[in-house]
Amino acid sequence: MRKIKRNKPIQIVQEKPAASTSSWTGMFKNYPRIIGMFILLLFMPPLGWIFAYKFSPYDKRTTIGISIACTAFFVYAVFISPEHEFVDVSKLTRTEFCTRYNEQATKLAPRLGLTIDESKLQLDGENFSYDVTDNLKFSAHIENNFVREVDITATPKNTDDSFQAINCFGLVIATLNPELNQDKRGDVLRELKMLDNALSNDLNETAVRGRITYGVKNSDGKIIFTARVNDDF
C-alpha cells in the first residue's frame, strides 16, 4: 500500500503592530491641526465646528465630544461667568441694589467698611439715603420701585477719606456695570478725572457705560458722584 502523505497544517503568524514610533510621528504631524482646531472651537465655535468636521484627526465620536466640551466652555465664559453677568439696571429695586452693592464691597474692598446696612437707611417716600461714614453719604432716587439715580456726596478731609470715596465710586460702577473688570472700571474713573485731581474746583465730567451715565462735580470741597440710568438706551 502506498502511504498517503498528510500536509502539515499551515500556521498563520500574526504580525505585531508597528513600532510605537510611527504613531508618535503621526501625532506630531497632527499637532498644528489639533491646536488650530482647539483654538477655533474655544474662541470661534461656528468656524471651529466646520474645521473639526473636515480636518479633525480624531474619530467622529471623539470629535463631537471635544466640540461639545469647547462650546460649553465658550458659553460659560461669555454668557454665564459672574464677571459678565447680565444685570438689567433699569429694574433694580432698593433691596436688590443694596444687596448687589454689598456683594461688590465684600469682594473688592472687604476692609474699608463701605457696605450698606439696609436696616439703617433713611427713607423719604421711595427714595433713601445712607451715611457710609461722616464724610461719605449715599442718596438714591427711586421711581416705580426701581432705582433710577444714585448720588454720593464726599467731603474728604485727608488722603484716607479720598481713598474711601474713590473706592465707593468704583463699587457703584461695579454694581451697575458688572461686566467691567477692574481695569475698565479704572478707565471710567480716569475719564471722570477722579484719578488726576479729585479736588479741582472746576471738575465737571461725565462718562457713559452701557445704560449708565456717570458724572462727577466738585463744589466747595464736596465731590458729588452721580450714576443715572438712561431710559433712551
Report the largest interatomic distance among the alpha carbons of the chain, rounded to a whole angstrom.
134
CA 89/CA 199 separation, integer angstroms:
29
Instruction: Copy the grid coordinates of residue 95.
Output: 433691596
Q: Where does residue 58 fall: left (phi above 0), alpha (psi -120 to 50 degrees), or beta otherwise?
A: beta
Residue 233 binned pLDDT confidence (cut-offs 50, 70, 90): very low
DSSP state of 78: I
Structure confidence at residue 19 (pLDDT): 45
CA 142/CA 148 separation, integer angstroms:
5
Chain segment 103-138, per-residue pLDDT in tens: 999 999 898 999 999 999 999 888 999 999 999 999
The closest of 162, 75, 164 to 115, measured between CA atoms, is 164
Using the predicted structure, report yes or no on whether residue 24 has a pLDDT greater than 50: no
Using the predicted structure, report yes or no on whether residue 29 has a pLDDT greater than 70: no
Place of cell 510611527: 22
